[in-house]
Amino acid sequence: MTSPEILQKVKKDEARFFSLQFADLLGVIKEVVKPIAELASALEQGVWFDGSSVEGFARIQESDMFLKPDPDTYAVLPWTEGKNKTIRFICDIYQANGQPYESDPRFVLKKAIQSAQAMGFQYTVGPEPEFYLFEKNDSQESLPLDKGGYFDWTYSRGIRVAQEATEALKSFGVNVECLHHEVGEGQYEIDFNYGSALEIADKLLTLRYVVKKIADFNGLKATFMPKPIKGMAGSGMHVRQSLFSLDGQTNLFSSDLGAYRLADLAKSFLAGQLKYIKEICLTLCPTVNSYKRLISGFEAPVYITWASSNRSALIRVPKWFSDKPKAARIELRCPDSSSNPYLAFTAMLAAGLAGIEQNLAPTEPVEENVYHLDEANLKNRHIATLPGSLFEALAWFGQSELMKKILGEELFNRYLSVKQKEWNEFKTEVCSWELDKYSNIY
């Protein structure tokens, strides 16, 4: 939409305010709300803000930045009406000199997509974000909303929250494919349709924003934290991926040959992600808590393998109907929703394209339950493991030339610094497990 078209639409929608949103380096939504009278200026010139006050952005001596709304992200906030009716835009970030801010995660993903397009590819993704719903209480203890399990229909408010969120998401152009109860008590999943990586990254931010809002309206707390409760299933964000032709008509991963029906291009893309997974893991599983999800026993990947039906594998090749070649895809299973989706998709795409450029072939698939293989078997078959902690992921990321190249040196160093600070904070914490374990015996 052009600026005049947007202003006409605003008049028709009778909006009184507009919200400008963007993601900081960690993928956390930032927002400024302004009266609708300011919209024409915002569309034409942008809205200034202090970049040095946003996690991972500018230094204090170069802090002036401005936001430019992306017209394609126009949406009416469905829970606002009358004098409070508000529209929302996701924004791009610009420097004071009018140039795009090259360390804006959204801009970095746009550049990665352009690289794929230059090779003749359109990168499409379909994430499966999971989250928990908790009763609000005054204590620190998290009380799951219900006792349901996988695909259970419960009579709690959880289903209502998921359904209300699904309806609200329509206002943002997010078409939900399915919603269901997950394995954990009070755990749910909302999946939406495939789309381009940039579009889906925007929609992931929107989904987290909407689910948290709707949960709060219902007196509940929603969290996409990877492992909120010890002993229960973690919340992941499996990402289905494909490369299409530039016109979007041909799925380049599809083949009629072989047991997995994957084209050689898809196998090289998959091999690239296997090769570089340790280096990109910090962007996919970016928190201390992420690595408490990546343990044996909960269908979360630990070992760097690929397979079809085997859900202990890092990368899975789901089945699809033979008359629907556009459904050909691979599924990366380690990411979680604490990731910044712009950085996560950038890293995944970069690793896959590197596999294609290097004409890599994947290792042999492993269809057995990898959790049941002993150390000798793993060693003989050269099966490596994912980083086991944020500390390990930092080490792999820090020496990655691939990540430095794709993110740019400034963003690479900022991200590394922010995550190193997070690890250092965690190292000095004394947690309840330590107190329970040691305080009475020493």
Question: Is there a contact between 276 and 357 (Cβ–Cβ < 8 Å)?
Answer: no
Q: Tell whether residue 293 is among the known ligand binding residues.
A: yes
Q: Tell whether residue 425 is among the known ligand binding residues.
A: no
Cα–Cα dist 2/44, whole Å: 10
Which of the residues 128, 146, 185, 279 is marked catalytic? 128
Question: Is there a contact between 419 and 282 (Cβ–Cβ < 8 Å)?
Answer: yes
Cα–Cα dist 378/181, whole Å: 34
- What would the two tokens of residue 188 be? 């749910």
What is 176-217 written as a DSSP string?
EEEEEE-SSTTEEEEEE--EEHHHHHHHHHHHHHHHHHHHHH
Q: Tell whether residue 333 is among the known ligand binding residues.
A: yes
Q: Tell whether residue 59 is among the known ligand binding residues.
A: no
Q: Which residues contact 379 (CB under 8 A, 6 or more apart)?
A: none
Q: Tell whether residue 194 is among the known ligand binding residues.
A: yes
Number of residues assigned to the chain: 442
Mark 79-112 as b/e (b = at least 16 C-beta within 10 Å): ebeeeebbbbbbbbbbbeeeeebebbbbbbbbeb
Cα–Cα dist 107/129, whole Å: 23
Q: Tell whether residue 157 is among the known ligand binding residues.
A: no
Cα–Cα dist 110/199, whole Å: 10
Annotated catalytic residue 372 = no
Q: Tell whether residue 34 is among the known ligand binding residues.
A: no
Closest CA to 334 of 272, 392, 397, 290: 290
Closest CA to 305 of 297, 296, 313: 313
Q: Tell whether residue 180 is among the known ligand binding residues.
A: no
Q: For the chain, how are helix, strand and coil distributed in percent, rounded to 5?
A: 40, 20, 40
Annotated catalytic residue 367 = no
Q: Tell whether residue 177 is among the known ligand binding residues.
A: yes
Please report, as a single letter, which amino acid is at residue 339: S
Which residues does residue 130 pair with via DSSP β-bridges, in sequence order? 189
Which of the residues 88, 181, 208, 238 is marked catalytic? 238
Annotated catalytic residue 189 = yes
Cα–Cα dist 68/48, whole Å: 9
- Region for residue 382 given its phi and psi (left: phi exceeds 0; alpha: psi -120 to 50; beta: otherwise): left
Annotated catalytic residue 146 = no
Please report, as a single letter, which amino acid is at residue 282: L
Q: Tell whether residue 193 is among the known ligand binding residues.
A: yes
Which of the residues 316, 333, 336, 414 is marked catalytic? 333
Annotated catalytic residue 316 = no
- What would the two tokens of residue 206 be? 């929107």
Annotated catalytic residue 50 = yes
Which of the residues 92, 130, 164, 336 is marked catalytic? 130
Which of the residues 50, 55, 62, 357 is marked catalytic? 50
- What would the two tokens of residue 119 be? 């090779």
Annotated catalytic residue 434 = no
Closest CA to 188 of 134, 141, 123, 229: 134
Question: Is there a contact between 354 and 272 (Cβ–Cβ < 8 Å)?
Answer: yes
Which of the residues 182, 185, 202, 336 is marked catalytic? 182
Closest CA to 210 of 170, 239, 178: 170
Which of the residues 92, 189, 279, 336 is marked catalytic? 189
Q: Tell whether residue 409 is among the known ligand binding residues.
A: no
Q: Tell whether residue 5 is among the known ligand binding residues.
A: no
Which of the residues 311, 367, 381, 392 is marked catalytic? 311
Annotated catalytic residue 238 = yes
Annotated catalytic residue 311 = yes
Q: Tell whether residue 130 is among the known ligand binding residues.
A: yes
- What would the two tokens of residue 34 be? 């302004």
Cα–Cα dist 56/415, whole Å: 7
Residues forming the annotated binding site?
A: 128, 130, 177, 182, 189, 192-194, 238, 293, 299, 311, 326, 331, 333
Residues forming the annotated binding site for ATP?
A: 177, 192-194, 311, 326
Residues forming the annotated binding site for L-glutamate?
A: 293, 299, 311, 333
Active-site residue numbers? 50, 128, 130, 182, 189, 238, 311, 331, 333
Residues forming the annotated binding site for Mg(2+)?
A: 128, 130, 182, 189, 238, 331
